[in-house]
Amino acid sequence: MRVAKGLRLATGLLLAASTAAIAQDAIPDGDWQTINRDSAATRYSPLADVNRSNVTNLTQTWEYPLRSFNTAVPVVIDGTMFFPAGNRIVALDADTGQERWVFTIPPAGEQPRNASTRGVGYWPGDGSTPARILVMAGSTMLALDAANGQPSAGFGEGGMIDVGVSFGGSVTIAQDVAIIGAATLENPIGVPGNPRAFDVRTGRKLWEFQTVPQAGEPHNETWGNGWKGRSGTNMWAFTAPVDLERGIVILPIAGPAPNYWGGERPGTNLYGNSLVAVDFKTGQYKWHYQTVHHDIWDTDMPSAGPLINVTINGKSEPVIAHVGKSSLFYVIDRETGVPALPVEERAVPIGDVPGEYYHPTQPIPVNTPPLSRVSLTFDDIVDAEDTTPEHAAACRAMWDKAGGYLNFGLFTPFMYHQAGTPPRSTIQLPGGTGGVNWGGAAADPTTGLVYVNAQDTSLVGWVERKESSESYSFDANDTNQPYDRASVDGKGPFFSFSAPLSGQYDAQGRGVGVSAPCYKPPWGELVAIDANSGAIKWSVPLGVIDELPEGKRLVGNSGSAGPSVTAGGLVFVGATNDRRFRAFDAQTGQQLWEAQLKGNANANPMTYRGRSGRQYIAINAGGTIVSYSLSR
C-alpha cells in the first residue's frame, strides 16, 4: 500500500461524518456518493455549471490509466475520487487526477485477488468511526479508511470478511448496513443466489433473503418440485436502490437457472425476475413485483431502476421506474409493489419443446410501447441502401442457412429442433443483452423524465436435446439438464442475426471486419420516457458505425452502459462502441457535444464538483478515467 503525502482528506471526511445518523440521501450537490450518485439510484446531479449554453466548451482536464479494464463508475466525496483498478483501490484528487492513496489487495495464499470491476461503496462514518470505502474482491468484502486507505479497524479480521458466495458488483450502503448480491453460475443445481447484508462497522452478517422459497414458505408452489437446490435467481445487478424514508431496499432478482429450459421448474418461479422490497435492516419481505413469469429467455434483472415521485391523476406517488432486457417500462408503487401505471396480463406465444412449461400470459405495460425492436419478418432485413450490398447479401444468406427465423413478437419462445431434421430457427428480440442492460436508467426527479440506452439486439437458434455432457455455455458446466440452446452455427446461446459489412468470412467462419445487425436500423437509441404518463418524449439513434458509407453511419451502435442526467439540462452517455462520449439536450434529445475517446466508454458517466469549485464530467473509457471541465 502507498499513502500520499499528508492526510488533508481526513479532515473533510470526518467533518462530513460528524453526527451519528447522516442521511445517505442528504448528499452535497458536488458529490457522487454511489455508483448511481444517490441511494435512490437516480444518476441525477443538481450541478448546472455545465449546461446547454456552454457544454460545447467542455475539454479534457486529466486522465488516469487504470492499468486494467473495468466498467467501474467512480464515486467522489468532498473532492476525492475512489474506484477499483485491478488488484488496487485508488483515491485521487478529483481536480487533478493525482493519487492520494493506493491500496493493493493482498493475495489469498498464492491466488491473486482483484477488486470488483463495477465500483465501490461509501459509508460516511459517525462520531467515533471514520468514513469507509467498501469493495468486493470475489467472496471477500474489504473495508478501508477513506482518509488513508488503511484497512478499517474492527471490520472482520484486518478489514476483511468472507461473505461466502462471490459478488462482482458494488456494495450498497443503507445507513449502517452493507448489502450485496450473489454471482452464481447458470447451473440449475448449485449455490443459492441470495442477497445478503452485513454490519458496516463490524462485518457481522445481518440477514440473507431466500430468493427460491423453501418448503412451507410463501410461493414455494410456483416451482413445482424444482425448488430443491435451485441456483441462479440471484442479484447480480451492481447495486440496489434504497428508500431511506420507508426503510426498504429494492432487490432486482434475476431469472433462475438454467436460462433456456425450465421443464424441471414448472410455474411462475417466484422470486425470479422480480423486484423484491425488503426491510434493509432485517431483510424482512415487504412486497414483490414479477416482470417475467417462468423465464426461458435469459431476460434476467440487470438493474432495479431509480426511485422518484411522479404525478398520476393529480396525485404524487412514490415509484420505482424499472426497465430491463425486455425493454418494457414499468412504473411500480414502491409502498405496495402495485403498478402505478397500468399493466395487463396478455397472452404470449407458446412453444413446443418437450416437457417445457409455458406460462400463457406475461405482464405488459399499457401506456409505454417496448423501447426496442421486439418482432421481425423477412421484410425487415436490411437492403443495400441501408448498409452495404455485401452486408445485405450476407444477411439473406444467413436467413436461408437458418431455415428462416420464426418470430411471433414479444416473448417468442425458442422452438424445438430435432436432430437430423432441416434447420428450424427462432429469433428473440431483444436478445440476451437487451433492451436495457446493466447500465439501467437515469431519472430527473424534478421532471419525472427517465433516460435509457435501449439496444436492438437479437439471439437466434433453437432448443435441442442434449445427446452428451458437452457444455453449451461457459457458465453452465456439468449440468444434466436434458435440453439446451443451439443454432446452425453451433452449440450455445451466443449467436445473433448479424453479418460482416464486408460480407466475408475467414476459414474458421468468423466475419471479416466489423459486423452489424441484419435488420433495418436504428440498432440502439437514447430514449426519454415521461414516468408521469408512460409516454415516450423523444428517442434518437445512439452511436455511429464509422465503417459504413457516409450518410449511413448514424444507425445506433451501443453497448450495455447507460446515461446520467444533470440540472444543467444535459444527458451524458458513453455506452457506444464508437469511442465517443456525448451530451444531449434532456428536453429535446438534440446532441450538443461530442468527444473522441481512446477506447469505448462502456461505463456510466458521472459528474462532481472538485475542491477548486469547478464542475467536472468523468467517464471510464477503455481502462482510463477521463475527466472534463469547461475550458478557461
The pLDDT tens digits of the residues spanning 151-182 come to 999 999 999 999 999 999 999 999 999 999 99
**More confident call, 473 vs 263:** 263
User: Does position 24 have pLDDT exceeding 70, yes or no?
Assistant: no
User: Does position 7 have pLDDT exceeding 60, yes or no?
Assistant: no
Q: What is the pLDDT of residue 17?
A: 36
User: Does position 6 have pLDDT exceeding 90, yes or no?
Assistant: no
Q: What is the pLDDT of residue 467?
A: 85
Alpha-carbon torsion 592, 596, 599, 605, what sign? negative
Which strands form 536-541's sheet, in the order they lie side by side?
442-444, 449-455, 524-530, 536-541
The pLDDT tens digits of the residues spanning 465-475 come to 998 777 888 77
What whole-number distance in Å separates Cα of residue 439 and Cα of residue 215? 36
**pLDDT bracket for residue 477 (50, 70, 90):** confident
Of 3-7, 304-308, 581-585, the range with the lowest mean pLDDT is 3-7
Q: What is the pLDDT of residue 468?
A: 78
The pLDDT tens digits of the residues spanning 213-241 come to 999 999 999 999 999 999 999 999 999 99
User: Does position 374 have pLDDT exceeding 60, yes or no?
Assistant: yes
CB 569 within 8 A of CB 12: no
The contacts of residue 611 (CB under 8 Å, 6+ apart) are 78, 79, 93, 94, 95
What whole-number distance in Å separates Cα of residue 321 and Cα of residue 476? 32
Percent pLDDT > 90 in the chain is 89
In the predicted model, what is the mean pLDDT of residues 331-343?
Answer: 98
Q: What is the pLDDT of residue 473?
A: 83
Alpha-carbon torsion 343, 604, 552, 386, what sign? negative
In the predicted model, what is the mean pLDDT of residues 370-381?
Answer: 97
Task: Name the CA radius of gyration of the chain, rounded.
Answer: 24
**pLDDT bracket for residue 25 (50, 70, 90):** low
**pLDDT bracket for residue 4 (50, 70, 90):** very low
* Residue 323, all three cell numbers: 426497465
User: Does position 15 have pLDDT exceeding 50, yes or no?
Assistant: no
In the predicted model, what is the mean pLDDT of residues 26-50?
Answer: 97
Pairing relationship of beta strands 196-199 and 205-208 according to DSSP bridges: antiparallel
Whether the bond into 271 is cis, omega within 30 of 0: yes
With a threshold of 0.75, does the pTM exceed it?
Answer: yes
What whole-number distance in Å separates Cα of residue 344 and Cα of residue 366? 7
* Residue 234, all three cell numbers: 440471484
Q: What is the pLDDT of residue 632?
A: 75
CB 296 within 8 A of CB 484: no
Alpha-carbon torsion 18, 23, 27, 32, what sign? positive
Number of Cβ within a 10 Å radius of residue 595? 19
**More confident call, 544 vs 3:** 544
In the predicted model, what is the mean pLDDT of residues 133-144?
Answer: 98
